[in-house]
Amino acid sequence: MQPRGLANTYISVTPDSALAPSAGFASSGIVAETRPRYRQSHQSRQLRRVARAANWDRSVAQTRARGLADTQASVPPNLAPAALAGGVGSSNIVTEARRYLGGNPTGRGSLWCARFMNMVLQHTGHRGTGSDMASSFAKYGQRVSGPQVGAIAVMTRGRGGGHVGIITGIDAKGNPIMISGNNGNRVREAPVSRGRIYAYVMPN
């Protein structure tokens, strides 16, 4: 049996007094056990702060990535990353063509998609075909294997006709998005069936 005074000494020690170096034999035992726990608690708090900082950085990075994705998707809508190829000259052609969306800058009432295409090329310092036939662009420029931003697409148009326009992107279904004249009797930017396009060319 422990002496009553020693037992009382253990019982009377509080957590606050356990950290005080002036305590007696009993408090020395408690300090030896408490300090490692204090260090563990301090380390846990540090780890939690590091984890919160990492989560914050990750959240910021994800937000920035979403913002970048939204920016790309807005010009044009639903733009696929694979369709982003193209140089500065290609961007100039797309920008020039977009100036006329909703209108008819050629003044013609019919068969003016090739006329519009030649006008855009001329305004951006390129040489066109000089023809009002859409099919004339199939032998123009440099042939490329697939859609690229700024490429000219030549396509069939029922009853033996043709159509021509400028690629601006690819929609969620994989169809090219094209700006063209005489689309509903105005300049429009809209997806077209990729199966109808038989030639892609980059301007001279």
Asked if residues 56 and 39 have their Cβ atoms less than 8 Å apart, the reply is: no
Direct distance between the N- and C-terminal alpha carbons of the chain, in angstroms, rounded to an integer: 105
pLDDT, tens digit (0-9, with 9 covering 90-100), for 159-189: 667 999 999 999 999 999 999 999 999 999 9
DSSP annotation of 201: E
Name the amino acid, one letter, at 138. Answer: A
Tell me the three state secondary structure of residue 186: coil
Backbone angles phi, psi at 21, to 5 degrees: -70, -15
DSSP H or E run through 149: none
Q: Which region holds residue 159: left if phi is over 0, alpha if psi is between -120 and 50, else beta?
A: left
Contacts of 11 (CB under 8 A, 6+ apart): none
pTM for this structure? 0.58
Question: Does position 45 have pLDDT exceeding 90, yes or no?
Answer: no
Tell me the three state secondary structure of residue 200: strand
> What is the biggest distance separating any 2 CA atoms in the chain, rounded to whole angstroms?
115
DSSP annotation of 137: G
Question: Does position 100 have pLDDT exceeding 90, yes or no?
Answer: yes
Most confident of 50-54, 80-84, 116-120: 116-120
**Position with higher pLDDT, 82 vs 2:** 2
